[in-house]
Every structure is written in structure tokens, then in C-alpha cells.
Chains A and B, each alone.
Chain A
């Protein structure tokens, strides 16, 4: 093959690649790169969407980090959710996954029942749980009262709102269950047999055979759980709105975080600053903080060997 035809072939190959990638190349430019750069620009601007943007240096950053009363509470809430909600979901997801692999009779029915809740649309599921857990007429507190147990205020009590959200998140643990189930079924049977021959107890087999084999999946579940927590928006917002009763076009604007900022998360601040206060500059500051945090954890996910970016050939 001559050099010229080789080069022609190369060019054709490059053109072909660009052609196949073109929808995404345009999309990533217009819907990812441009708004990202634009967010950095606006974070240094005083802009309300009506008057022309005015450069105001680090004022938005100072305001968000020092004066905006919702910023640090939502950081604290995010930390709480990462520590408790993500942990609960991973532990519970693994537990249910283990259970499902051991169920012999009616396994398919159990699996489907365990999986269904995670399909429920978030607004619908949240609405349902605010009702189930409402202190006045909710069935959960009715049952707790019948049993003589204390009935917490759930979504109406700042100390109980995040636990209530955790219950909702654990209810929808089916997605993790399926992943853990697949991982558990992939553990080589011979290893269990060998462990059994050596006289290992069930707990020892779990500790020394199961866990080492599935630990990459556990890590995956934890990191994606953290990333999902960064994005946690619909459930805490809708729960706050419904529990407080401030919804819709009643003229009253819902200040997110009810009760007492206990359900605030970073994404809600972007909406609050941008679309309720028309302080687009400060909203972009929060957006960039959110960006930095989620990208840090995404990098963690990508660096893992044999992880998301297997070479493919």
C-alpha cells in the first residue's frame, strides 16, 4: 500500500469517526461546555436577568460562602445524607440482595416486589410518604400509637425530616439490590466449597469469600451514592413543600428547607437563588461548588482499575 492511499484511508477514517460522533460533539458543546464556561462568567457578575450583567469580582462568592444563610446548612445536610442515607442504602441493598439469592421458593415474586418501589416516580413516592408519615392522619403513626410507641413528627420535625427521607430512599433500594444480586451470583462457587471444606462458618464465608469478591461493587455503590446525594433535589424539595402546605400558586413562595432548613441541599440553592431571588450570579457560584464536588467523586469512580472505563478491546 502506498503512503498516499494510507493517508487517504486515515482521513476517511477520521471523517467517519467525526460523522458518527457529530450529534454528541454538538451536544456536548452547546449543553455542557458552553453553559459551564458561562456559569464561571456569571459567577463574577451581578445579574438579575433584566439589567445588563455588571462585573462585581468575588462579591457573589463572598456572599454565598459567608452571608447566604442557606449554604452551610445544606452542606451539613449533604454530609449527614452521605453518612447516613448512603450507608443505609448500601447496607440494606446488600442485605436484600443476599436475601434474594438465598430465597428458593417464589424467588421471582420476591425480587419483583423488592424492586418495584424504586420505579415509583419521585414526586409520587415523596407525596405518598409524606402522607404515610404525616403525624395527623398517617397510617404509620396510627400503627405506632396502637403499639404504644412514640410517634415522631417525621417531615414536620427538623430532627426527623432527614430520617424520614432516608426511609423513603431505603424503600427505593431495588436498583442497588439488582446490582448486588448480579455481583453475588458472580462469586465463584468453588471458593465457597473450599471454604466449607475448611470448616468455615457462614459468617466466616461471608467475611472471607463474599466480601472480598464483591468489594469493587460495594465501592461503586458508595461512590455513585455520594454523587446521587449531590444531586438530591426532588424528594427533599417536594417533601418540604407538601409537609409545610405551601404549594402552587397560592401567592406564597416556598422557601426551601422546611422544616427549619433541615431538608436543604445544594441543588435547591441553585433554584432558590436563581429562580426565586433572580440572583443569577450567586446561583452560578453554588452551581460551580456543586460541579467541583460531583466531579471530584466522578474522578474517583474513573480512576478505579477495571472500572467505568474499560478499554474495550
Chain B
């Protein structure tokens, strides 16, 4: 440590006290940091440890496995349905994210850069839709999808609306687009670019971090969504997603906490992996609004 007082022979008593204070401060802060880190990390550690226990040991109060049963993960992976849930989740999250980005970018651009009457009203509407609990409109929406279009038992009632602009994504993208100076757009217009060309050639490249953040949020939203699949997909196991299937997995493996925890780890892992791959875009997005996620 560079804080050792011996390194500075001519230190006055006052300076020494100050330095000792700094060392104590460093120790206190980092001790607190380690304590907080334990609180955040230990649950993951216990889940992992339990997921590796044998069936018998999972019924005890033991904290660490006697034999490391890596085969538990293969057992979960080979459970009937698990791969289907995986595929459905990827479809919902992947296609949903793509549609959301495609439909939300032009809307956000218009709200950020066009001047028109009713813009403030439109913005207030976007924020209201963003804050709307999904349960408020679920009865009419369910009746619409199930009775009129006969699409319940699938994930389409969740995917199709994403082609019509997601309020949260529009809001977040707009916040991001506001930071792009208007001079760039004016320059493009002077050069004879139409609005669409300006959006595609000038705005999109500059908005890439914002788009990345929106895509990540939407992907995580769909991956984590429980309510939507519960309403529309529960009647048809072939349409279940991981979040919904995980719960029924617990129901089917009543006391096998080891298998349930292995399944839980398998559902958490991809999200955490994506986070590590795209950490910067993510943190930027959270600071931009910090509403969802």
C-alpha cells in the first residue's frame, strides 16, 4: 500500500493524522463494499451450490454439496418441454426486439426533432402508456386476441403489438436523440437529403448506443415477462416461455430443490451473459431514464 507513513519521512503530525484518517477511510469503505458484495452475491452462490447437490442432500440443511452432481443440469436440459420453452423465449425476445426497434425509431425521431402541433400531448401520451400497468387493459385485449382473432394459446398477441412502437423504447430513444445537435440534421437537409435519408444516413449511426440500449431492455423485458405468457400461452404448453415454464417446473419437481435451482440458473445465465457482452450500452441506457429494468 502506498499509504504507509514511512514513505514520507518529513510528515508533520497533522499530515500524519490526516493520512491515518485516509487509510481508515479506505478500510471502512472497502469493508462496507465487501459486506454489500456478499449480500448481492451469496444468493447466487447458494443457488449454484444447491443446484449441484444430490437429490437426497437437497432435502437437508447442508450448504455445500458432498458430491458435485453436474448431471443435474443435463437432467433439466432433457426435461420434456425445456427446449421448447427455450425456443419460444428466443422467438418472443428476438423477434419482439427487432420489431420494437424498427417501429420505435421513426416515432422517437419525429417526437425529438419535428415541430408540430400536439407534440407535447403526444409526449404525455407516450409517458402515460409507459407507466400503464399491463393489467389495466388486459381484459379487453385478451377478448380481442382470443375471441376476435382466435390467437390465444400462442405468443403472437405479445409479439404483434411490438410492431407498433413500444412506449418505453420510444421514450428512451427520444431522450437519446435529443442529445444529437440539430446542426447535423440541418446540414444533411441543406445537402438535399429527405427526412428518411437524414434519419437513415445521419441520425441512425449517431444513435447506435441508444438503439443498443433499447434493444437490450426490450430483449430482457420479453425474456423476463411472466404476465404476458401467463395470459396468452398458459393454455398451450407448446407456447410456454422459460419464465412461465420455470414455475411449472417447480410444480412438477416438488421437493427437488436441486433440479429447480439448476433450472433457475439456466434461466438466469443467458441474461447475465448478455449483460457482460453489452455492459456499456446497458449502463448508459439505465442512466438515460432508469424506469424499467
Please list the residues of chain A having a beta carbon within 8 angstroms of any beta carbon in chain B: 13-14, 16-17, 20-21, 23-24, 26-28, 30-32, 34-36, 38-39, 42, 49, 96, 99-100, 102-105, 110, 112-125, 127-129, 131-132, 137-139, 142-143, 171, 174-176, 178-179, 182, 220, 224, 227, 230-231, 233-234, 238, 241-242, 245, 247-250, 266-267, 270-271, 274-275, 280, 283-284, 287-288, 290-291, 294-295, 297-298, 301-302, 308-310, 312-313
Please give me the 9 A-B residue pairs with the lowest Cβ-Cβ distance, nearest first. A27-B164, A247-B251, A248-B251, A24-B165, A35-B137, A38-B140, A35-B140, A20-B110, A179-B290
Task: Pick the contact of B128: A24, A250, A284, A295 (CB < 8 A).
Answer: A295
For residue B246, CB closer than 8 A to chain A, the reply is yes
Task: Pick the contact of A287: B30, B39, B138, B248 (CB < 8 A).
Answer: B138
- Nearest-Cβ distance from residue B24 to partner chain A, whole angstroms: 12
Q: Establish whether residues B271 and A23, one from each chain, have CB atoms under 8 Å apart when the complex forms.
A: no
Q: Establish whether residues B59 and A137, one from each chain, have CB atoms under 8 Å apart when the complex forms.
A: yes
Q: Establish whether residues A24 and B291, one from each chain, have CB atoms under 8 Å apart when the complex forms.
A: no
- Nearest-Cβ distance from residue A177 to partner chain B, whole angstroms: 9
Task: Pick the contact of B39: A13, A171, A250 (CB < 8 A).
Answer: A171
Q: Establish whether residues B271 and A121, one from each chain, have CB atoms under 8 Å apart when the complex forms.
A: yes
User: Chain B 100-112, CB within 8 Å of chain A: the 1/0 string?
Assistant: 0001101101111
Please list the residues of chain B having a beta carbon within 8 angstroms of any beta carbon in chain A: 26, 29-30, 32-33, 36-37, 39-41, 43-44, 46-47, 50, 58-61, 63, 103-104, 106-107, 109-112, 114-116, 120, 122-129, 131-144, 147, 161, 163-165, 170-171, 174, 178, 182, 195, 220, 223-224, 226-227, 230-231, 242-244, 246-248, 250-252, 254, 257, 260-261, 264, 267-268, 271-272, 275, 279, 283, 286-287, 290-291, 293
Task: Pick the contact of B247: A142, A178, A247, A301 (CB < 8 A).
Answer: A247
Q: Once bound together, how far apart are the Cα atoms of A100 and B37, in whole Å?
A: 11
Q: Establish whether residues B283 and A295, one from each chain, have CB atoms under 8 Å apart when the complex forms.
A: no
Q: Once bound together, how far apart are the Cα atoms of A17 and B114, in whole Å?
A: 7
**A24 and B103 contact, Cβ closer than 8 Å, known pairs A32-B129, A295-B131:** yes
Chain A residues, Cβ within 8 Å of B112: 312
Q: Establish whether residues A127 and B106, one from each chain, have CB atoms under 8 Å apart when the complex forms.
A: no
**Chain A interface mostly:** helix
Chain A residues, Cβ within 8 Å of B286: 175, 178-179
Chain A residues, Cβ within 8 Å of B131: 227, 294-295, 297-298, 301
Given A31-B164, A270-B136, A312-B112, 10 other A-B residues pairs in contact with their CB atoms under 8 A: A13-B116, A16-B114, A17-B110, A17-B114, A21-B107, A99-B29, A113-B40, A178-B286, A242-B250, A287-B138
**A287 and B135 contact, Cβ closer than 8 Å, known pairs A113-B40, A171-B43:** yes
Q: Once bound together, how far apart are the Cα atoms of A14 and B143, in whole Å?
A: 35
Q: Establish whether residues A245 and B254, one from each chain, have CB atoms under 8 Å apart when the complex forms.
A: yes
Q: Once bound together, how far apart are the Cα atoms of A38 and B126, in whole Å?
A: 20
Chain B residues, Cβ within 8 Å of A16: 114, 195
Chain B residues, Cβ within 8 Å of A250: 251
Q: Establish whether residues A137 and B37, one from each chain, have CB atoms under 8 Å apart when the complex forms.
A: no
Q: Once bound together, how far apart are the Cα atoms of A267 and B33, in whole Å?
A: 36
**A14 and B268 contact, Cβ closer than 8 Å, known pairs A42-B139, A129-B43, A302-B127:** no
Q: Establish whether residues B43 and A23, one from each chain, have CB atoms under 8 Å apart when the complex forms.
A: no
Q: Once bound together, how far apart are the Cα atoms of A24 and B61, in whole Å?
A: 53
Q: Establish whether residues A34 and B140, one from each chain, have CB atoms under 8 Å apart when the complex forms.
A: yes
Chain A residues, Cβ within 8 Å of B33: 99-100, 103, 110
Q: Establish whether residues A137 and B58, one from each chain, have CB atoms under 8 Å apart when the complex forms.
A: yes
Q: Establish whether residues B164 and A121, one from each chain, have CB atoms under 8 Å apart when the complex forms.
A: no
Chain A residues, Cβ within 8 Å of B104: 23-24
